[in-house]
Amino acid sequence: MTLSHHISSISSQQLEALGRGGQVLEQDSHGPKVIRQSNGRMLKIFYPRKGLSLSRLFPTALRFARNAERLRALSIPSLQVEQVYRADNRVFAALYQPIPGVTLRQKLDTDKRPTEPEQIRLAHFINQLHRKGVYFRSLHLGNIVECPDGQFGLIDIADMRFFRLPLNRWQISRNRAHFEKYVEKEGLPFPCQALWALCEKLR
């Protein structure tokens, strides 16, 4: 049994202690969502949803951990989940080692427009995901990390499915539409149509 298949039960006070003193990177009305500990590890917190939800049968935190394992098994860089926790207040959390590098969203803040070689590398990566049957419904510039060795990896990976066959045209189209919606929402200077043209050329 791997670490991501095991959930440790802790108290809400113990979960609070895991995040105490860390840097809150994301939060919402429920409280902190992503905390960077002083040792560099990340604590991602999953609050319970109201009403009936599949997450009660298969917690999102566990899906998050298993998706990371499946990506690495496909030679796609991703985070390393060390432990999944369930607190007594029905809050789940995942403690993990992040991917070294910066997101493409962060790169755009400094480099502005990507170069053609960078677009080609990204097109190869997206084609690789589709070819390996990885349907990442949150595929966008904020969830793609460029590692120090030049590889691309994925974060925030709970919303993901894996298929035995390559993705079909409908799934690819949905991925691209979500990617474009993110670029438009953030007002980013990113040439989506040029990227899709490269993806088609390099398929």
Query: Mind giving me the DSSP string for 139-198?
Result: -STTSEEE-TTS-EEE-S-SSEEE-SS---HHHHHHHHHHHHHHHHHHT----HHHHHHH
Q: What is the pTM of this model?
A: 0.88
195 or 2: which leads in pLDDT = 195
- Give the integer Cα–Cα distance in Å for 137 and 166: 15
Residue 51 has pLDDT above 60, yes or no: no
User: Ramachandran region of residue 174, left (φ > 0), alpha (ψ -120 to 50) or beta?
Assistant: alpha
Give me the long-range contacts of 48-53 (CB less than 8 A, separation at least 24): 48/90, 48/91
Which range has highest mean pLDDT (29-33, 80-84, 112-116)?
80-84
51 or 65: which leads in pLDDT = 65
- 102-103/144-146 β-pairing: antiparallel
Q: Which domains does the chain have, with CATH numbers?
A: 3-97 (3.30.200.20), 102-202 (1.10.510.10)
Determine the average pLDDT of the residues in 86-114: 88
- Give the integer Cα–Cα distance in Å for 184 and 158: 23
Determine the average pLDDT of the residues in 34-47: 93
| The 80-87 sheet, strands edge to edge | 7-10, 80-87, 92-97, 42-46, 31-36, 23-28
Among 178, 96, 81, which residue's Cα sits nearest to residue 129?
178
- Average model confidence (pLDDT) across the chain: 89
Q: Which two tokens stand for residue 107?
A: 């790169």
Supply the pLDDT for residue 14.
93
Supply the pLDDT for residue 76.
96
Residue 1's pLDDT band, with cuts at 50, 70 and 90, is very low
Among 202, 34, 48, which residue's Cα sits nearest to residue 128?
202
